Structure 1
Amino acid sequence: MISAGDPSRPIGRSVRFRPMTAPFQTGLFFLPSIGTRAEMERGMAGRDPALYQEMLGDLKELAIVGDDLGYDAIAFTEHHFHIEGFEISNNPVLLDAYVAAHTKRIRVGQLGIVLPASSPLRVAEDIAMLDHMSGGRAFAGFARGYQRRWVDTLAQQYHDVHAAPSKSRDEEVDRVNRAAFEEFFTIVKLAWTQDTFSYTGQFWQIPPPDIPWDLEATARMGRGAEGGFVREIGVVPKPLQQPHPPMMQPFSFSEPTIRWCARNGVQPILAPVNDELEAFLFSVYHEEANTAGRNLAPGEGIGVLRDVVVADTDEEAWELWRNSGAFVGAAWFSPFGFGGAIPWPGEDPKSITPEVMHERGLMWVGSPATVRRQVEQTLERLPLKYVMAWQYNGLMPRAAIAKSMRLFQEEVVEKL
C-alpha cells in the first residue's frame, strides 16, 4: 500500500484507520485555493477549468488521507467571484457532498456559509440533505461575511445588508449585518427543529401574507394551511442528526460574538490572536455557556485555527509555508485586516513577523519535534480541545500536504 507521504506515487488508501488519541481533536480547513503560486501570479487562475479539476482531485485524495489518519472533520469556506484563485468555494455544501462520497467517517462542513447573503430556508434544506447524504456526518458553519465584492452583490435583495470587514468597521453596517445574521440563524434552526413554523422579522416574513392554498392533500396529509391560506411552512428533509447537525462559526475574536456563540450552542473557531486575548475569549465562552446551562468543561465547545505545516526538517517546512500560508496571508488576508488582534496591547503591529508568530505558537510550522514543542507550549497555557489545521492545497504539492498531515498525526499528536 502506498504511503500518504510518498511524493513519487499516487496517494492511496491507508491500510488502517487510526483513531485520534490527542488531548484535542483536529479538523482540516481548506479555502480551497486553485493552482500553484506561479499559476496564480500569471492571473485569472480561478477561471481555469484544468486547475479546477486538479483542485477537486487534491481535495478528494487529501480527504481520504485525513479520513484514514483519524482527523475529525474537513471544512471549506464560502466565497464567490474569486478570479484570483485564493478561495474557490462558491458552494461548500457541494464540496462537502463530493468528499463525503469518497470517505467513511470524517465529518464534513463549512467554515462557513455567509448567512446574510443567503436564503436561510435554502441553507436549512441544503445542510439537511448533506446530513442525510453523508450518513449523519454533516456540521454547519455560519459566518457573517467580510468581503464586500461578493457579499454586497449577492445580498442586494436584503436592503442595507453589506459585508462587515474588520479593517474598516462601520458601526451601522456592522449592526445591520449582525442583525441579519442572527435572524437568518434563527430561521435555519426553526426550519430544522419545527415540523411547521411561521416567522416575522426585520428581513423575512415566513410565509408572506395571503398566499392562497386550499389543497385537500395538505389538509389530509400535511399541515400549515388554514382558511384557504398558507399560515405556516415546513422544510424538508428533517436533518438526520437530532435536533440538528453541530454548528461552528469562523473565525471570530470579538467578545460579543463569542458570547453569542456560547449562548446558542455554536462552536467558535478563533482566528490567531495574541495569547492574552485568546485566554480571555476561552474564559468568556466557558462562563457564558455555563450561565446558559450548558455545563461545559474549560476549553470545551471552542477551538482555534492554526497553519499546520510539518516536514522532515524546519527548513523544508518553512519553505513550503513561504509559498503557501505566507503568500496567501500577505496577498489576500492582510489587506482585509486579519492579524489585527495578534499584537499584544500597545505592541507595534509592524513588529509581528512570521518568526514572532512562530515563537508565540500562532503557526505550527517545522519538523515534528519543533511542532510538538509548539503544541505542548500551547497546551500549557490553554485548555485546548479543538484545532482547525489550515491546509494549502495547490500552493503546496499534494504529496507534501499528505505527508504533513501524517507527520502531524503520527509524530506530533500521538506523541503528546
Structure 2
Amino acid sequence: MKTLVWCSSAIPVTPSERRSGRPIGRDVHAYQAMLRNYEDIARWADAFGFDGFGSAEHHFQTEGGENMPNSLLLYAKLAAQTRQIMFAPMPVILPAHNPVRVAEDLALFTHMFPGRLGVAFARGDQTRWMQTLTQDDAIVARHPGSDARNREIFDEYLSIVERAWAEDAFQHQGKHYQVPYPAGGIHNWPLADWTRTYGGPDEVDADGAVRQIGVVPKPLHRPTVFIPTTSPRTVTDAARNGRTLLLTARSREKVRSIAELYRDTARAHGRDLRLGEGTGVVAKVFLGDTFDEAFDLAVQTSGYWFHNVFQAFGFNEGLRTAVDDPHRTLRLDDARALTRRMYEAGLLLCGTADQVRDQMQEMYEVYGGGRLDWFVWEFWTQALPGEDAPDIQRRQLKTYAEKVMPTFR
C-alpha cells in the first residue's frame, strides 16, 4: 500500500488572531508563513519515504481556510527540491477549467519531472468560487437543478483530457465543449499545407480547414488518475476507465460495498482485480505517546475545521447514526464531539503508533479479504497554530513513516 499525504493549506492562526487579522487570507505575511510551512511538510514527506503529496483546490477563502488556488504551479518548485515523491493536485475541479488547458499543463509537468505526477479530478460543490470562476449559477454539484448538469460537464471534460493525452489528434463535438471550435472546422487555415505535411494525418482536410486538434506535449507517462467517489455511478465509471477510486473512510460496511462494486465492475470490463486493487481510502491520522494526546491534537485541527467549516457543507452526513434525527441536517455540538464521531466511524485514526497500526490493518484489508493500493492521509496537523507546530508536524510524519508505514508495504 502506498501512502499519499493530502495536506491542508489552511492558515494556522488562533481564532482570536483570525478575528483581529481579518481577512487573514489576504494577509501576505500570514500566507507566506503558511506557504513555507506547507513546503516544509512536502520536503519532510519526501525525505521520510512517502509516496505522494497533494492538496485540494480552493479559491476566495479570505477567512483563511483552504488557500491553494494552483497547486501544480507550486509543485513545480517543490519537485525541483525533492527526490522521489509524486505530486498530485487533489483534486482539479474540472467543470471550473478549460479541459484542453488542463491536459496541456499536466502533460508538461510529466516532461519536467518524469514519473512524479498523479492527479485527482472532481466535480466541485462550493457555490462561491464555482459560480464566480465559471460565470454560471447552475453548475455546482450536489445542488438541486445543477447536479445533473455538473456531472455532464465533468464527464465530458474528463473524456477530453484523456483523449488529448492518448490521441495524436482528435475531434470532439459535445454538449458543452468542441474541439476544434467550431467542431465543423476552422476554415482558411493559413498554414494548411504546412500542417498537412508535418502535422497529424487528419488535422487539416483537402480544403484547408482544421478538422482535428493535436495537444502538445503528449504526456511522457500517463498520470495516475484518482477519482473521489460520491455515487455508485462515479464508482462504475472509474472501474470501467481504469481510474483509481478514492473512498472516504466512514461507514466500514459502506467502504467494503463500494470496493466490491469497483472490483466487480472492473472484472466485468476485462480487468481482473482483487478487492482493494485500484482503490484508495482517505482518512485522518493523529499520533501521540497516548491516545488522549493524539485525540487532543485531532480536536485542535481536524475537529476545529470540520466543526466550523465543513459541516456547513453537509460533510457530516457520512457520520450519521441511527440515533440522529433523519429529518435534520447533522450538526455536532462542538469540535470534540465531532472528532469523537469521526473516530468512531473510522474516518479518523488516532492513538499511539501501535494503536493506529491496528486501526489501519482493518482498513488496509478493506474490512475483510482485500488489500488496498493507496492510503491518503488527510493531514490537518498543518492547520495547527503556534511555534511548536512544525516540530509536531514533522514528528507526526516521522513516526508514521518509521512505525506504521512499513507494516503495509
Normalised TM-score (structure 1): 0.87
1:388 — aligned with what? Answer: 376
2:351 alignment partner, one of 349, 361, 366: 366
Alpha-carbon distance, 1:366 to partner: 2.0
2:178 alignment partner, one of 187, 199, 205: 205
Once residues 144 and 325 of structure 1 are traced to their aligned partners in structure 2, the CA distance between those partners, rounded to angstroms, is 23
Decide whether aligned partners of structure 1 residues 138 and 370 sit closer, same or farther in structure 2, where only a CA change above 3 A counts: same
Once residues 61 and 273 of structure 1 are traced to their aligned partners in structure 2, the CA distance between those partners, rounded to angstroms, is 30
2:396 alignment partner, one of 367, 389, 404: 404
Structure 2 residue 213 is matched with structure 1 residue 249: no
Aligned length: 384
2:279 — aligned with what? Answer: 302
Give the 3-state SS of the residue equivalent to 1:378 in structure 2. Answer: helix
Once residues 344 and 282 of structure 1 are traced to their aligned partners in structure 2, the CA distance between those partners, rounded to angstroms, is 21
Kept in 2, the 8 Å contact 1:311–1:403? The answer is: no
Percent identity among equivalent residues? 34
Decide whether aligned partners of structure 1 residues 176 and 147 sit closer, same or farther in structure 2, where only a CA change above 3 A counts: same
Kept in 1, the 8 Å contact 2:252–2:346? The answer is: no
Structure 2 residue 217 is matched with structure 1 residue 237: yes
Give the 3-state SS of the residue equivalent to 1:269 in structure 2. Answer: strand
Match runs of 1:145-156 below 5 Å: 145-156=124-135
2:102 — aligned with what? Answer: 123
Kept in 2, the 8 Å contact 1:314–1:366? The answer is: yes
Alpha-carbon distance, 1:98 to partner: 2.4
Amino acid paired to 1:258? V
Once residues 331 and 310 of structure 2 are traced to their aligned partners in structure 1, the CA distance between those partners, rounded to angstroms, is 16
Greater helix fraction, Structure 1 or Structure 2: 2
1:354 — aligned with what? Answer: 339
Q: Map Cα deviations across residues 30-60 of structure 1 (whole Å, 9 max, x no partner).
A: 1311232334344322111112222222222
Q: Map Cα deviations across residues 272-314 of structure 1 (whole Å, 9 max, x no partner).
A: 3211211110111111111111211110111111111212232
Structure 2 residue 84 is matched with structure 1 residue 111: no
2:168 — aligned with what? Answer: 195
1:376 alignment partner, one of 348, 361, 365: 361
Decide whether aligned partners of structure 1 residues 29 and 415 sit closer, same or farther in structure 2, where only a CA change above 3 A counts: same
1:262 alignment partner, one of 239, 260, 271: 239
Kept in 2, the 8 Å contact 1:35–1:45? The answer is: no
5+ residue gaps in structure 1? 1-23
Alpha-carbon distance, 1:199 to partner: 0.4
Q: CA RMSD of the aligned region, Å?
A: 2.0
Match runs of 1:11-410 below 5 Å: 24-38=1-15, 39-42=17-20, 43-156=22-135, 161-165=138-142, 169-170=143-144, 172-209=145-182, 210-211=185-186, 212-215=188-191, 216-223=193-200, 224-226=203-205, 227-241=207-221, 244-250=222-228, 252-344=229-321, 348=325, 349=330, 353-379=338-364, 381-382=367-368, 383=370, 384-392=372-380, 393-395=382-384, 397-410=389-402
5+ residue gaps in structure 2? none
Once residues 168 and 79 of structure 2 are traced to their aligned partners in structure 1, the CA distance between those partners, rounded to angstroms, is 27
Alpha-carbon distance, 1:356 to partner: 3.8
Kept in 1, the 8 Å contact 2:302–2:339? The answer is: no
Alpha-carbon distance, 1:353 to partner: 4.2
Give the 3-state SS of the residue equivalent to 2:239 in structure 1. Answer: helix
Alpha-carbon distance, 1:161 to partner: 4.4
Amino acid paired to 1:236? V
